[in-house]
A and B are shown apart, each in its own frame.
Chain A
Amino acid sequence: MSYDAKFRVWRGDADGGDLQDYTVEVNEGEVVLDIIHRLQATQTPDLAVRWNCKAGKCGSCSAEINGRPRLLCMTRMSTFEEDQTITVTPLRTFPVQRDLVTDVSFNYQKAREVQAFSPPEGLQPGEYRMQQVDVERSQEFRKCIECFLCQDVCHVVRDHEDNKQAFAGPRFLMRVAELDMHPLDSADRRPAAREEHGLGYCNITKCCTEVCPEHIKITDNALIPLKERVVDRHYDPVVWLGNKIRRRKD
């Protein structure tokens, strides 16, 4: 059942690097992360890779396999031909630290910029009441394992470093949508979605949805509804007038 596979793995650091060739044993049922671990144990002990749970639940082992953003632990070797060369490279959108490990701090900065859950006034712990049907919308987005594959694939930042300042990326726009749809969140999320997190940059190409290992419908269920709500608010003439009047009172 075993065979030798050809692997090309990017080795290097912030100063540069290149693809290196390896021939490595593959056994039945293995995933790409198993092969990376075999390389560490038998050929190149200092090969850097992030991983934790090895079960698709923590979102640590994100990389690009043959150019596609994937979790190394959820990509089965049986999905490739035995004679196919498998190329593993680090996430392209983020700066390389070493080998397959990238600096994903961009995502943690963006996470901090989304205003936290605003608890409803007057409800004590234990008094929260919500219907299952109402929590399910946000629950879908809370399945996110923060692998940042959607952030990696999104062309708004993948090919445009200069957009990183203004654009939170699908993961954190989805976080805004999640809070917006939370039955008991008391904040209005719409102005910030547009003005601070760059919702308008998204032109719904659905690349994020395609790479999501949790199969969250990021574009259809989070980003498009959020866009609609923002548009309703921002361009609705009554809301516009209301804002003018309120502002005058201040």
Chain B
Amino acid sequence: MTDVEPLERHDYDVIVIGAGGAGLRAAIEAREQGLRVAVICKSLFGKAHTVMAEGGIAASMGNANEKDSWQVHFRDTLRGGKFLNNPRMAELHAKEAPQRVWELETYGALFDRTPDGRISQRNFGGHEYPRLAHVGDRTGLELIRTLQQKIVSLQQDDHRETGDYESRLRVFAELTVTDVLKDASGAVSGAFGYWRETGSFVVFSAPAIILATGGIGKSFKVTSNSWEYTGDGHALALRAGAALVNMEFIQFHPTGMVWPPSVKGILVTESVRGDGGVLRNSEGKRFMFDYVPDVFRGQYADTEEEADRWYKDPENNKRPPELLPRDEVARAINSEVKEGRGSPHGGVFLDVSTRLPAEEITRRLPSMHHQFKELADVDITAEPMEVGPTCHYVMGGVEVDADTAATAVPGLYAAGEVAGGMHGSNRLGGNSLSDLLVFGRRAGAGASEYVAALGDSRPTVSEADVRASVQTALAPFREASENPYTLHSEMQQKMNDLVGIIRREGEVREALGMLDEMDERVKSVGVQGKRPFNPGWHLALDLRNMLAVCRCVALAALERTESRGGHTREDFPKMDPQWRGVNLICTLDDAGDVALKNQPVPEIRQDLLELFERSELAKYLTDAELARRDGPPASQPGAAQGPDDGSGA
């Protein structure tokens, strides 16, 4: 049924895989730089997971507090990531985010306003000042719709000029890419995929591909992520020869719904806490005061009274510990539940009903009010919510160059959640939407520059590779024993149990054994029915990506013998400065197996290090690194002789 069918073919300058915030911003940039662009997405246009983002876009515009600046944002981002961030990415992100947000207004976005008519900014965990541009609690929807409408606007320009809306920018919706194609030299030559509607295959020729496929949450049982989040971009990059960095760092958002079971994992926005909501255990205690770690002492309130005063007077009071970075809050909730102080359905209580008047709650948190009312029969203006950790975001991802978003594979770029490094070991709320915009734009620009430099000598698609892709894609249509749904749900359960929020060596090893077994079982997954819109087949193909990604997560989780951000080892509960300087890199070896190696984290430039007090750096850096920051002894005439490894100023 395959060899004879003629394949649909397209030719573009750039292919963007993924139509969330990063993908659309990348496509806009590449199109504005004059390239012909295809955007490919697994869902309908405008349904990407970005719509789920609730809280806001972090950008130091200084509208709510004029003391804010890119330097403060940079500092908060590194603190949140426990200093493992790619410092250049964090710098570019903090510097460029305001411009990216203002630009959205020129596309038609309507953010909530300050009394003087500027963009309103709200408080969020880990951000020193109110920094998140927002639209109620549906900021992601505003972002996706704004970018979608900007794409349409560019298509309207093209229509006026050429008579064809799709002459320079076309969206291929409900099309799944299964392989990145390369030429003999190893450069990107195109992509192979299938239309979900018909099941027919498509070959794209293009010298540049931007991966913007989002995350990997569907490998875990309890997740806030949609079915699309199967780690496609991570796996495509890996198979194409690029590297993944720090896949052990997975953010479990502290507040997901826990009841009823069918909605377990669905996100409850951090804005609930930013706007005054508090966490309580079954004894009614605001337990977060017991969980402020040493590195954050001094930045968070010690008493409920001070914490409550902060909402009105942030200048003279310290912030409530409910607004610690997400990894800290998630671990705290986990401990409370484990020690028997949880809520009836295995979470804790998140209460805003006693903190704000009902009309204020429905105005500030309309979609949360709606979500709990409709899905759980809970009125959040009158009673507390039950919440618990849910797999939300992967900090790890494709290793990229900070300035251009280029991977190690010529022509392959990555931006947004699929890219790694920017957030270090833990992402702050609000830094994702800004990440999408900043690095989406940079990926579009990077790819445009690469394509321009190629001139007419473009890599060509190998027909043998296309035939191989057809075969792989059709393989699940066989008489076979394994049901893809069963395999998937077993994998999700095991990953949740064994490589979840708290990890132990023995369990991670058990997970690796399970993955070995699954790698075998996936070979005998079979699907029923035909190719048109067949979800069983689609899942069978996604499984291969999830298995590859899970292996990277487990290998890296086993290797990193410390606890930091989104990686908690019960057997190594402390943060270790030696590990701060280490990135864990996964690549495929010649046999197609995942290989893991250690690689130094890019150094933090001296001027960026100087944004921090020495006493704070001492909590994270090794003595040698601190000495380097202090500079050679000559620059400090009074100082005693210290070690100098020669790499300093």
- Chain A contact residues, CB within 8 Å of chain B: 13, 27-31, 34, 40-42, 44-60, 74, 76, 97-99, 101, 103-104, 108, 111-112, 115-117, 119, 125-126, 128-132, 135, 138-139, 142-146, 179, 182, 185, 215
Contact = CB atoms under 8 A, between A and B. Distances in A.
B152 A112 contact: yes
30 contacts: A29-B260, A29-B261, A29-B262, A30-B262, A41-B489, A45-B484, A46-B527, A48-B533, A49-B535, A51-B226, A52-B43, A52-B226, A54-B263, A56-B374, A56-B375, A74-B374, A74-B375, A76-B374, A101-B197, A117-B153, A126-B98, A126-B102, A129-B117, A130-B110, A131-B117, A132-B112, A132-B115, A135-B112, A145-B141, A215-B370
B145 interface: yes
Contacts of B99: 125-126
A34 B51 contact: no
A117 B108 contact: yes
A209 B80 CA distance: 43
A27 B529 contact: no
A174 to B, nearest CB: 13
A163 B105 CA distance: 35
Given A13-B532, A117-B107, 13 more contacts: A46-B529, A46-B534, A51-B226, A55-B267, A57-B138, A59-B47, A103-B197, A104-B44, A130-B110, A132-B112, A135-B111, A143-B138, A146-B47
Given A45-B529, A56-B370, A142-B110, A130 B227 contact: no
Nearest to A74: B374
A153 B18 CA distance: 31
B537 interface: yes
Interface string B36-60: 0000000111110101100000000
User: Which are the 10 A-B pairs with shortest beta-carbon distances?
Assistant: A29-B260, A46-B529, A117-B108, A116-B153, A45-B536, A129-B117, A125-B102, A48-B533, A41-B485, A126-B102
Interface in B147-167: 149-150, 152-153, 155-156, 159, 165
Contacts of B142: 142
A125 B112 contact: no
A99 to B, nearest CB: 7
Contacts of A98: 197, 532-533
Contacts of B117: 129-131
Main secondary structure of the interface of A (DSSP, over half): loop
Contact of B266 (A54, A99, A103, A146): A54
Contacts of B285: none
B328 interface: no
B38 to A, nearest CB: 16
B261 A41 contact: no
A108 B102 contact: no
Most buried by B among A42, A45, A51, A60: A45
Nearest to A117: B108
A130 B117 CA distance: 5
Nearest to A129: B117
B483 A108 contact: no
B108 A101 contact: no
Contact of B534 (A48, A54, A116): A48
A82 B46 CA distance: 36
Most buried by A among B136, B259, B266, B535: B535
A45 B110 contact: no
Most buried by B among A13, A27, A128: A128
B432 to A, nearest CB: 16
Given A53-B52, A145-B51, A135 B110 contact: yes
B41 to A, nearest CB: 11
A108 B489 CA distance: 34
Contacts of B266: 54-55
A13 B532 CA distance: 9
Contact of B47 (A58, A103, A132): A58
Contacts of A53: 47, 49, 51-52, 226
